[in-house]
Structure 1
Amino acid sequence: MNVLLSLGFVLTWSSGFIGAKLGAGDASAVTTLMWRFLPLALVLGAVAATAGRRWWRGLTLRDIGRQTVVGALSQSGYLLTVYYAIQLGVSSGTTALIDGTQPLVAGALAGPLLRQYVTARQWLGLCLGVAGVVVVTTADAAAVTGVAGWAYAIPFLGMLALVAATFVESRSPTRVEPMAALTVHCATSAVVFTALAVAAGQVAPPAAPSFWLAIAWLVGLSTFGGYGLYWVVLRRRGLTQVNTLMFLMAPVTAVWGALMFGESFGVRTALGLALGLAAVGVVQRGAPRKPAHVSGGTPSRPRERASSQS
């Protein structure tokens, strides 16, 4: 089950970079993101107000406020930087590769902040993964022309936002139903992106069918698939292991981008893929047994910590 969840997470999370590329051909980043989240938030809100009332049982305003912060960081902040970078011309593969530095940052902070200490073998795997990211990033960047150098720094900001969201969520003492968290996150993103689109005068969606295909792709694969599985795998596998899987996003997206958009994929990209696979294998085998009371994301109350992810 864990292998299938991990595979599904890698594929669906990678699909977000491809969906962003699809949407960038027809509309600006804020327009695409507004129409990705506004209808979704309305549907989830309607479900939450009727059949989903049990999702909110036991939650306080403070719990909902925490989830709002998590959503603002992990969806609004992260996705805006990814979409904006791709809009500026950074390839989908390169954007994913830059985001691939997240495991090193998260791994370094997991010990002092969450007491999830990284073993020497896991550090070896993390370093292998970073090497793979560097190899493929430099290969992709060399193949792209006409992109400002500062544009490559934008995905780093999104990576930091996602890391911050992970730690905010992981330190929560309250168990939040996944659908309740998703509803709050999507509602937060809908408000943020609608406000940005209105301010920029970019509310009206294009009539092109390809735009709505991109929206359907992003909602189905990226939001319910990638984003939802991120929190599921995080809780079941722990912070270090789920973030190690992020190393695979870069080469997988590079392959996907090469097949769909003709983006560069050469020997160096293949080498980066091999390093990423090696990194995952080393970290998975070197992971210490996680105590039952430790939770990786969307944690439960202390007396419920041994419960499984729904």
Structure 2
Amino acid sequence: MSILTLSPKVIPWIFVWIWSTGFLAAKFGLPYAEPFTLLLYRFIFTLLLLLIVIRVKKSRWPSSKMEVFHLMVVGALIHGVYLGGVFQAIKWGMPAGLSAMIIGLQPLGMALMAGAILKEHVSKRQWIGLIIGLLGLYLVLFERLDLSRELAFDGFPIWAVFAVIASLFGISIGAVYQKRFCNNMDLISGTWIQYFSALVLCIFIVSIFETGEVSWTKPFILTLAWQVLALSVGAILLLMTMIKQGAAASVGSYFYLIAPLVAIQAWFLFGEEISFISIAGVILISFGVAITSSKKLKN
């Protein structure tokens, strides 16, 4: 069975599950390489594979330098800042499930950014969803606050929180910027340029802040392969299929499932604790995102 023969109702679920594994893949890979070094190799192999896809599909390249510039801005934000912040936070000890909970606020952040940047109206429903989501985030962060140490949580420093919040801003601003300036991009060639921009950012950061060393063990190679094939390439091909099948617009309504999906998988794979307060926080965050994403509710 090929991707194209799958039901339009099934593909968004597969897409969201693959997306959720990104947080887990980061935790699997980071013992063997520093965050931006891991991303650097991920982007190199992704770019090589996408070149093959571009050749096969004969994708068109942008016709102007300004198009390329806009795509590179989006790539630096969505792939560089977003992934870099999440990977760095997990490297500093933040649980994968908690990082997913914070990033789970992305639809709310995007709604606010659209209001600020694109001057789109932020409805009462979206404000209510934001407040509920932030309340859920407060619950999961407050539970982990370590009052015995300054600027620290249980198991990770406050800088990890700042890193993942930077990720949240990166993906939210990047998504709004793409909506404003890159709406007509070719999905494959445009994505290639975005990854190239993120690669340049990673090279810059690695050359200054990291050693660039990698332990090329079997677990690292496997997790790198998953990140390249499933996350960076497979997810893009699934998105293309959803666009062809007219199901792309429905993906947003599934995103509220990412945080609980990651939390359950992280509990199973890494033994990350899921307390009642964490469950309540996840429910509030997911409910807030669901309210914001729902088009059936009136203002």
- Corresponding residue number in structure 1 for 2:81: 77
Pair 226,138 (structure 1): closer, same or farther in 2 beyond 3 Å: farther
- Corresponding residue number in structure 1 for 2:264: 255
**Would you say the 8 A contact 1:91–1:144 is kept in 2?**
no
Question: Structure 2: which 5+ runs fail to align?
Answer: 1-6, 147-151
- Corresponding residue number in structure 2 for 1:154: 163
User: Structure 1 runs of 4+ off > 6 angstroms?
Assistant: 227-233
Instruction: Between 251-260 and 275-284, report the one with greater CA deviation.
Output: 275-284
**Would you say the 8 A contact 1:93–1:140 is kept in 2?**
no
Shift of 1:52: 4.3
Q: Identity over the aligned pairs, expressed in percent?
A: 25
- Corresponding residue number in structure 2 for 1:32: 38
**Would you say the 8 A contact 2:107–2:289 is kept in 1?**
no
**One of 184, 192, 197 as aligned partner of 2:193:** 184
- Corresponding residue number in structure 2 for 1:54: 59
SS in 1 for 2:59: helix
**Would you say the 8 A contact 1:100–1:246 is kept in 2?**
yes
- AA paired with 1:18? L
**One of 274, 283, 294 as aligned partner of 1:265:** 274
**One of 91, 111, 117 as aligned partner of 1:113:** 117
Shift of 1:183: 0.9
- Corresponding residue number in structure 2 for 1:279: 288
**Would you say the 8 A contact 2:34–2:212 is kept in 1?**
no
- Corresponding residue number in structure 1 for 2:18: 12
Shift of 1:101: 3.3
- AA paired with 2:18? T
- Cα deviations across residues 46-78 of structure 1 (Å, max 9, x unaligned)? 543x3344322x632211111111101110111
Pair 275,229 (structure 1): closer, same or farther in 2 beyond 3 Å: farther
Pair 103,258 (structure 1): closer, same or farther in 2 beyond 3 Å: same
CA distance in 1, matches of 2:255, 2:14: 12
| Residue 42 of structure 1 pairs with residue 48 of structure 2 | yes
Pair 145,132 (structure 1): closer, same or farther in 2 beyond 3 Å: closer
SS in 2 for 1:54: coil
**One of 96, 100, 112 as aligned partner of 2:100:** 96
| TM-score calculated relative to the size of structure 1 | 0.78
CA distance in 2, matches of 1:141, 1:19: 26
**Would you say the 8 A contact 1:93–1:250 is kept in 2?**
yes
| Residue 224 of structure 1 pairs with residue 233 of structure 2 | yes
- Corresponding residue number in structure 1 for 2:212: 203
**One of 239, 246, 249 as aligned partner of 1:237:** 249
Instruction: Between 127-136 and 29-38, report the one with greater CA deviation.
Output: 127-136
- Corresponding residue number in structure 2 for 1:296: none
SS in 2 for 1:51: helix
Q: How many residues align?
A: 284
Shift of 1:167: 1.6
